[in-house]
Amino acid sequence: MTRLGLGLTLAGLLLLGSPAVAETTATVAPAEPLAKPAAGTIQVLDRDASGRPLLARVALVHGLPDFAESRMTLGGTWSYLIRDGDGVLVLDVGPRFPLAWSLVPWASWKVLTPKLDGNAHILKAVETVYPGCPITTIVMTHWHADHTEDAPALQRLAFERWGVRPPLRMTAADRPHRWRGLFPIGAEATFSAAGFHRSEWTWGLDLREGERLGKTGFRVLCLPGHTAGNIALVDPDRRISLGPTPRIEPPRESLWAEDMETYRATALRFYHATFGYRHFSTHPGREATETWPGAPESEKVPVSGHEFHGHACD
């Protein structure tokens, strides 16, 4: 199924009814897997010795009917909030519109579509977990709309609130991008399709393999396969990894994996390098229903430290 065909199919689901946008509340839940958390649910996942939060996340929903939300979008998107010195790094931003419309590549179709309130939940979570700390960086694991679409608006809201415009950061491979060398996809195409003008977002430096992200303790690991520039973050000292969970067996539908040949090798390296880590997924449904295996003994791939040599981000 093409991206357009899937978008039109999901858009039809909205005609059957879509949940109303909920009020922005701060609900702090225990740090355990949740298959379908309510929008705005906050979990604190890690603290320092003095009890200060170091890592938290907030649930963002996709605005689909309940029967579609859990099956098609894995229960929504977790946006991660990572302490970065006196600031906060945000990992992944949800869709601007109900996800069905986000998959339709024309902004004009979305004029009458009510926007979701994901950014309000992110801002509320930052205030709740890290009071007084501004958002200093917005990182995106890959270009898909449920991880990027409303990032320009969050960048603007952060500037209005704290007077600092946090740069948007991702890999070069996922910013401007063409599907099979033909159709424009990637984050910039996603922003434009959501109605943002090119002047409404500001890029920071491209993410690089092995890069340390400020004072967060996390490093970048490039995981091409799901998208050309897909990444995860790892903290070797605390043995924590964040990001999309690659399956050992690649998905059959190429819609969910741009590079099928690379996908499996990437997954094996990832599972081997993060064996014994606490892993937190970007989708609640994946984390709540799947086990976390190490790479099969017969197929372990040698790695050096925590870097995936030969897997470039650009």
Lowest-pLDDT range of 140-149, 222-231, 252-261: 252-261
User: Residues near 304 by Cβ (< 8 Å), separated by ≥ 6?
Assistant: none
Token pair, residue 63, equals 């605005």
8: in domain:
yes
State the residue for tokens 């970007």: 282
pLDDT at 22: 42
CATH classification at residue 28: 3.60.15
Helix (H, G, I), strand (E, B) or coil at 183: strand
pLDDT at 167: 98
Parent domain of 42: 3-217
Q: How confident is the model at residue 215 (pLDDT cuts 50, 70, 90)?
A: very high
66: in domain:
yes
In eight-state DSSP terms, residue 305 is: T
Whether residue 222 is predicted with pLDDT greater than 60 in this model: the reply is: yes
pLDDT at 82: 98
What pairs with residue 60 in β-bridges?
Answer: 77
Output 103 or 219, whichever has higher pLDDT: 219
200: in domain:
yes
Token pair, residue 17, equals 């009814």
Q: How confident is the model at residue 285 (pLDDT cuts 50, 70, 90)?
A: confident
Closest CA to 196 of 140, 136, 151: 151
* Distance from C-alpha of 298 to C-alpha of 293, rounded to nearest angstrom: 13
CB of 60 within 8 A of CB of 94? Answer: yes
Closest CA to 40 of 140, 115, 158, 125: 125
pLDDT at 128: 97
Whether residue 97 is predicted with pLDDT greater than 60 in this model: the reply is: yes
Q: Name, of 101-110, 243-252, 267-276, the range with top average pLDDT.
A: 267-276
Q: Beta 77-84 vs 87-91: how paired, if at all?
A: antiparallel
pLDDT at 306: 36
* Distance from C-alpha of 194 to C-alpha of 97, rounded to nearest angstrom: 8
211: in domain:
yes
- Cβ burial of 30 (10 Å; 0-12, 13-18, 19+) is exposed
CB atoms within 10 A of CB 160: 9
Q: How confident is the model at residue 268 (pLDDT cuts 50, 70, 90)?
A: confident
In eight-state DSSP terms, residue 141 is: S
pLDDT at 45: 95
**Mean pLDDT in the chain?**
78
Whether residue 17 is predicted with pLDDT greater than 50 in this model: the reply is: no
Span 204-226, mean pLDDT? 94
Span 32-56, mean pLDDT? 91
Q: What are the strands of the beta sheet with 278-280, ordered from one edge?
A: 219-222, 231-235, 240-242, 278-280
Lowest-pLDDT range of 76-80, 140-144, 293-297: 293-297
Output 44 or 300, whichever has higher pLDDT: 44
108: in domain:
yes
Tell me how far apart the terminal alpha carbons of the chain are, to the nearest angstrom. Answer: 27
Q: What is the pLDDT of residues 174-206, one digit of tens each?
A: 997 666 556 678 999 999 988 899 999 999 999
Q: How confident is the model at residue 295 (pLDDT cuts 50, 70, 90)?
A: very low
Q: What is the CA radius of gyration of the chain?
A: 18
245: in domain:
no
pLDDT at 263: 78
Q: What is the pLDDT of residues 133-162, one digit of tens each?
A: 999 999 999 999 899 999 999 999 999 999
In eight-state DSSP terms, residue 212 is: B
Lowest-pLDDT range of 111-125, 160-174, 196-210: 111-125
150: in domain:
yes
Q: Beta 87-91 vs 135-139: how paired, if at all?
A: parallel
Please state the domain count of the chain: 1
76: in domain:
yes
